[in-house]
C-alpha cells in the first residue's frame, strides 16, 4: 500500500491500494470528458395511461454543463410552475455530461415545446408518485483523463484486481477491480473539509464548537478576505468575555450566506449559551443539517476501513464476527448493488458458506455508518469498530439528536468492485458503480493527484 495525500488522511482515507506512481493528468478539461448516466431500478407506465392514477410524468434529461438545481429552477420557470413539483433521483456535478431521471406533476405533452440550451429532454413514462432521492440503482461513467502518463496503468489495475479478489478477467471487455468503498473527499468539502468536524461536534453535544468549526477555522485554499473573517471569529471565540458577534458579522463576506445566517442568529440571541449556538446551526437548510451528521458518520466509516487495512483484514471476504449484507435482487444485470437492510452476522461455522456468496457477488462485508440502531460487528472487526468510536469519543446512543440531526444509522459495504474498461490516448475509463459510491475513489488510485483536482 501507499500513504494517501495529507488532505485525504484528514478525512479518514489513509491509503492507496496500489503502490506505484499515478498517471497524473487533467480531469474535466471539457464537460464531455466526464460522462455519467443514471441506471434505473424500475420501469414506468406508458405515456398514454390515465393521468389521474399516474399523475407524474417521468423524463430523462441529458445535461451538458448544467448544475442539477439550476436546471430544475430554469425548467420550472419555463413551465410556469413551482420547482417543488419537479423531483429527481440524484444530483450530478455541473462540469459534465449527465443523463438523469426527473419527474414532474404534469400532462404527458408538457415538455413537447421546451427547449433549453445544453439539455436534451426525453419523456419515458408516467408514475403514481414523484421520484425520490436515491431512486436509482447506480451510475455508469465514461471518464477521459487528458495528458496522463499511461505507463503505470497496467500495474495499478493488477493491484486493484488482486485487492478485489479477482485474479482473472471479467466476463466482458474489462477487468474486475476493487477498491475500499471510501466516501470521497467531496463528501467533506473538497476545498475546506470541515463538514465532518461540524457533525462530530454535534454528536458530542458541543453546539458551540460545531458553529465555530463552520464559521471559523480559516483554510489556506480560501481567498484572503474569507480567511481574515474566519480568523476574526476564532480570535473572538478564544478571547475572555463575550465575543463581538456583530463585528464578526460586519466583516464577513456577503457571499457566504450560511455562515452569515449563523452569525446573525448569534447576534440576535447573544451567542453565549449552548442553546444559542444550536439555534445558530439550525438556521441552515435541513438538508445541510443532515449532511453535517452524515459527514461525521462517513468520516468514522473511512477511519474503520483504514484501520481494517492497517490490520490486514480482507475486504473481499468475511471473517468470523463480520456483518455482511446481501445483493439487491432488483438491481440491473451486472451491477452488484448491496442491500444493507438484508444483513447477517457471520459466525465461525458460517464463514465458508458466506464467502461462497461473496465470491459470486451476492454478499458484501460491511462497516457501520453509526447511528442509534446500528449493530456493531463481533470479533476482530468489532474490536476495530469500537476502537475507532472510542478514539472519536462517540457511541451509537449519541446520535439520538434533535430534529434533522438525529440518525438511526445503517451499514455499508466496505469493498467497491466494478468491471473496468480502459483505453489509451487519451486515457479513458468506463465503469459502473452502485448508488452512493464515489467515482473519485477509483480515479484516485490511477491519478494519485491532489483530491481537489478529482472533485
Pick the most confident of 88-102, 187-201, 393-407. Answer: 393-407
What confidence category does residue 94 fall into, taking pLDDT thresholds of 50, 70 and 90? confident
Residues 340 and 403 in one domain: yes
User: Is 434 part of any domain?
Assistant: yes
3-state DSSP call for residue 355?
A: helix
Residues 171 and 309 in one domain: no
Give per-residue pLDDT as tens, 432-448. 999 989 999 999 999 99
Q: Residue 399 sits in a domain of what CATH number?
A: 3.30.2350.20
The reported pLDDT for the residue numbered 241 is 78
List residues with catalytic annotation: 93
| d(C-alpha 169, C-alpha 419), whole Å | 9
Q: Are 144 and 426 in contact (CB under 8 A)?
A: yes
What confidence category does residue 172 fall into, taking pLDDT thresholds of 50, 70 and 90? low
172's CB contacts (< 8 A; 6+ apart) are 334, 419, 421
Give per-residue pLDDT as tens, 259-301. 999 999 999 999 989 999 999 999 998 889 999 999 999 999 9
User: Is 156 part of any domain?
Assistant: yes
Residues 326 and 401 in one domain: yes
Q: Residue 240 sits in a domain of what CATH number?
A: 1.10.1510.30
Residues 372 and 265 in one domain: no
Mean per-residue pLDDT, 185-211: 93
The reported pLDDT for the residue numbered 267 is 95
Residues 319 and 355 in one domain: yes
Number of structural domains found in the chain:
4
β-pairing, 97-105 vs 56-64, is antiparallel
- For residue 12, pLDDT over 80 is answered with yes
Q: Residue 51 sits in a domain of what CATH number?
A: 3.30.70.3160
Residue 97 domain boundaries: 42-127
DSSP 173-186: SSEEEEEE-PPPGG
What confidence category does residue 217 fall into, taking pLDDT thresholds of 50, 70 and 90? very high
What is the grid cell recorded at 63?
445535461
Mean per-residue pLDDT, 225-234: 95
Residues 337 and 404 in one domain: yes
Q: Which of 16, 10, 78, 1 is nearest to 440 (CA)?
A: 16
Amino acid at each position: 500500500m501507499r500513504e494517501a495525500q495529507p488532505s485525504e488522511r484528514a478525512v479518514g482515507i489513509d491509503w492507496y491500494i496500489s503502490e506505484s506512481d499515478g498517471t497524473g493528468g487533467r480531469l474535466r478539461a471539457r464537460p464531455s470528458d466526464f460522462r455519467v448516466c443514471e441506471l434505473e431500478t424500475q420501469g414506468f407506465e406508458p405515456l398514454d395511461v390515465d393521468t389521474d392514477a399516474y399523475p407524474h410524468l417521468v423524463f430523462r434529461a441529458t445535461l451538458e454543463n448544467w448544475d442539477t438545481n439550476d436546471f430544475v429552477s430554469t425548467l420550472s420557470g419555463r413551465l410556469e410552475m413551482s420547482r417543488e413539483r419537479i423531483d429527481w433521483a440524484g444530483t450530478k456535478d455541473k462540469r459534465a455530461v449527465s443523463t438523469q431521471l426527473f419527474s414532474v406533476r404534469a400532462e404527458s405533452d408538457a415538455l413537447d415545446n421546451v427547449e433549453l440550451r445544453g439539455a436534451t429532454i426525453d419523456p419515458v413514462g408516467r408514475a403514481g408518485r414523484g421520484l425520490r432521492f436515491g431512486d436509482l440503482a447506480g451510475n455508469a461513467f465514461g471518464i477521459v483523463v487528458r495528458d496522463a502518463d499511461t505507463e503505470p496503468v497496467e500495474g495499478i489495475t493488477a493491484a486493484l484486481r488482486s485487492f478485489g479478489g479477482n485474479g482473472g478477467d471479467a466476463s466482458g471487455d474489462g477487468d474486475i477491480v476493487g477498491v475500499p468503498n471510501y466516501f470521497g473527499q467531496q463528501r467533506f468539502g473538497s476545498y475546506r473539509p470541515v463538514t465532518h468536524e461540524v457533525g462530530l461536534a454535534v454528536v458530542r453535544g458541543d453546539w458551540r464548537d460545531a458553529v465555530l468549526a463552520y464559521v471559523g477555522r480559516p483554510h489556506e485554499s480560501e481567498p484572503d478576505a474569507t480567511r481574515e473573517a474566519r480568523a476574526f471569529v476564532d480570535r473572538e471565540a478564544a478571547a475572555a468575555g463575550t465575543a463581538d458577534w456583530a463585528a464578526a458579522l460586519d466583516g464577513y463576506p456577503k457571499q457566504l450566506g450560511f455562515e452569515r445566517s449563523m452569525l446573525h442568529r448569534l447576534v440576535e440571541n447573544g451567542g453565549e449559551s449552548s442553546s444559542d449556538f444550536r439555534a445558530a446551526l439550525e438556521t441552515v437548510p435541513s438538508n445541510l443539517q443532515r449532511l453535517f451528521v452524515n459527514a461525521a458518520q462517513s468520516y468514522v466509516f473511512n477511519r474503520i476501513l483504514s484501520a481494517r487495512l492497517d490490520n490486514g483484514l480482507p475486504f473481499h471476504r468475511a471473517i468470523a464476527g463480520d456483518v455482511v449484507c446481501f445483493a439487491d435482487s432488483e438491481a440491473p444485470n451486472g451491477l452488484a448493488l448491496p442491500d444493507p437492510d438484508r444483513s447477517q452476522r457471520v459466525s465461525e461455522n458460517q464463514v465458508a458458506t458466506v464467502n461462497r456468496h461473496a465470491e459470486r457477488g451476492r454478499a458484501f462485508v460491511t462497516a457501520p455508518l453509526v447511528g442509534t440502531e446500528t449493530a456493531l460487528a463481533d470479533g476482530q472487526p468489532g474490536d476495530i469498530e469500537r476502537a475507532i468510536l472510542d478514539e472519536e469519543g462517540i457511541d451509537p446512543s449519541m446520535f439520538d439528536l434533535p430534529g434533522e440531526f438525529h440518525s438511526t444509522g445503517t451499514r455499508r459495504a466496505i469493498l467497491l468492485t466494478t468491471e473496468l474498461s480502459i483505453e489509451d490516448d487519451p486515457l479513458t475509463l468506463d465503469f459502473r458503480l452502485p448508488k452512493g459510491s464515489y467515482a473519485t475513489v477509483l480515479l484516485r488510485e490511477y491519478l494519485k493527484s491532489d483530491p481537489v483536482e478529482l472533485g
